[in-house]
Amino acid sequence: MKITSVETLRLEEFENLLWVFIKTDEGITGLGETFFGPQAVESYIHETAAPLIIGEDPTRVEYLNRKLFNYYVGFRGSGAETRGTSAIDLACWDIWGKSTGQSLTQLLGGACRESIRTYNTCAGYQYIRTNKGQRSDNWGLGGNAGPYEDLEAFMERADELAESLLEQGITAMKIWPLDPFAERSGGSYISGPDLIEGLKPFEKIRKAVGNKIDIMLECHGLWDLPTAVQIAHAAKDLNLFWIEDPIRADSMSVWAEFRDKTTARVCGSETITGVWGFKDLIEAKGVDVVMLDLGWIGGLTQARKAAHLAEANHLPIAPHDCTGPVVYAASTHLSMAAPNALVQESVRAFYTGWYTEVATGLPVINNGFSRPPEGPGLGMELLPDIGLRKDAVRRKTTIGDI
């Protein structure tokens, strides 16, 4: 089997997403995806990556992953090159599964469990749908697109939100009410009144449902070390399940210092690339829960290595997903196969909302537990006419172009 073409697709409605289609001479097409900076990723894929992989066997996933990572100067970080490599890698795994009639879970060694516990990241329907960036002015509030405007809910009615999730059997939730204060100060200061205000949603939840639900505090890497420690100490009586990305994931020794100064579990980081980055974080003893993103780490090839590394160090993993449906599906496969998978992230405003407008074969969530779609490979596809939309931007590189 040989790769004959690489195609990309992005939609103006979803300005942060890029989908990749790897086509073969046996008529099998693999589907991949990544998030953020899609035009830059698109350029990398067609100008650099496609000439390196066209004509190759797509089922040689390790070989192709290393070929893209090690191309001369190489790169480290979740920039356009790594995001493009991640999407290509997912598509090759999809082809491998389809060509052998096996799901990604089976290719990874088979299921370790029947389903994986999920938590709800409390985003709304319009959350970071535009390319304005990851800021509070891009939270997409006020859309009233359906019953699960969970971001607005955690800011205004966190107690009711927790009760709603528990009614669906979802026993964990993640919120980020402190972000606006970090943006205001550059992450170097939070006033006493602002800290009290920012922790109110957690207090409402505990008052309403006690410890029936686990709560994660997402910090998006916005704080400096002293302020992150201040926040952790102020929240110590709230029984947080974890504090996620309290500081930027660029200095592992600082993560270790933060972990030494708080009693809460520390989770991170979706922004780290490759097994090498997680090696540094784990060796520094900077984390209790390893969070990786299949669309940013370098694909499933790098994610499974990071999962094995975490397992060897007796640490759980928690695959990240607050982006697109393909990475979400691939993440559930990893969560099924990895013995040290703790919990799988999901966004109910997404999987009941816009995911259904672009894809079929989504992961199934029942009573707070998730399982991947059935079928070979990913077990999912984009809707067949999605490339015909008026806002679709398509680009293709074939064997004749190189």
Report which residue type is found at 104. L
How does the average pLDDT of the chain come out, rounded?
95
Q: Which two tokens stand for residue 185?
A: 């100060």
Question: d(Cα 285, Cα 313) in Å, to the nearest integer?
Answer: 10
Taking alpha carbons only, the member of 263, 260, 268, 188 closest to residue 228 is 188
Taking alpha carbons only, the member of 251, 261, 257 closest to residue 269 is 251
- Measured in whole angstroms, the distance separating CA 249 from the mean position of its chain's CA atoms is 15
Q: Are 103 and 333 in contact (CB under 8 A)?
A: yes
Question: d(Cα 321, Cα 329) in Å, to the nearest integer?
Answer: 9
36-66 burial, b for 16+ CB within 10 Å, e for fewer?
bbbeebbebbbeebbeebbeebbbebeebbe
**Element of type H or E holding 160:** helix 158-167
Question: d(Cα 318, Cα 309) in Å, to the nearest integer?
Answer: 13
How does DSSP assign 337-370, residue by residue?
H-TTB--EEE-HHIIIIIHHHHEESPPEEETTEE
Alpha helices for 284-324 (secondary structure H):
300-312
The SS3 call for residue 334 is helix
> In the structure, what pLDDT confidence band is assigned to residue 262 with cuts at 50, 70 and 90?
very high
- Measured in whole angstroms, the distance separating CA 324 from the mean position of its chain's CA atoms is 8
Q: Which two tokens stand for residue 294?
A: 């299949």
Tell how strand 116-121 and strand 29-35 pair up. Answer: unpaired
Q: What is the pLDDT of residues 102-141, one digit of tens each?
A: 999 999 999 999 999 999 999 999 998 888 888 888 888 8
> In the structure, what pLDDT confidence band is assigned to residue 73 with cuts at 50, 70 and 90?
low
CATH of span 106-371: 3.20.20.120
**Element of type H or E holding 66:** helix 61-69
pLDDT given at position 140 = 86
Whether this model's pTM surpasses 0.75 = yes
- The neighbouring-strand residues paired with 217 are 175, 243
The SS3 call for residue 170 is coil
The tokens 């009290």 sit on which residue? Answer: 196
Spans of all domains in the chain: 3-101+382-401, 106-371
How many Cβ atoms are within 10 Å of 109's Cβ, its own excluded? 12
Cis peptide before 253 (omega within 30 of 0): no
Question: d(Cα 173, Cα 322) in Å, to the nearest integer?
Answer: 13
Report which residue type is found at 363. P
The tokens 């990240």 sit on which residue? Answer: 320
Over 90: is that where the pLDDT of 313 sits? yes
Report which residue type is found at 147. P
Span 337-356, average pLDDT: 97
Q: Are 150 and 376 in contact (CB under 8 A)?
A: no
Q: What is the pLDDT of residues 186-229, one digit of tens each?
A: 999 999 999 999 999 999 999 999 999 999 999 999 999 999 99
Q: Please say whether the structural domain 3-101+382-401 has been given the CATH code 3.30.390.10.
A: yes
pLDDT given at position 132 = 82
Q: Which two tokens stand for residue 224?
A: 């400096």
Question: d(Cα 277, Cα 292) in Å, to the nearest integer?
Answer: 11
Taking alpha carbons only, the member of 55, 63, 48, 75 closest to residue 5 is 55
Contacts of residue 193, Cβ cutoff 8 Å, sequence gap at least 6: none
**Can you give the length of the chain in residues?**
402
Span 12-34, average pLDDT: 97
pLDDT given at position 74 = 61
Q: Classify residue 131 as exposed, middle or buried by CB count within 10 Å of its CB (0-12, 13-18, 19+).
A: middle
Radius of gyration of the chain, Cα coordinates, nearest whole angstrom: 20
pLDDT given at position 399 = 81
pLDDT given at position 130 = 85
Report which residue type is found at 176. W
pLDDT given at position 188 = 98
Q: Which two tokens stand for residue 17?
A: 């997403």
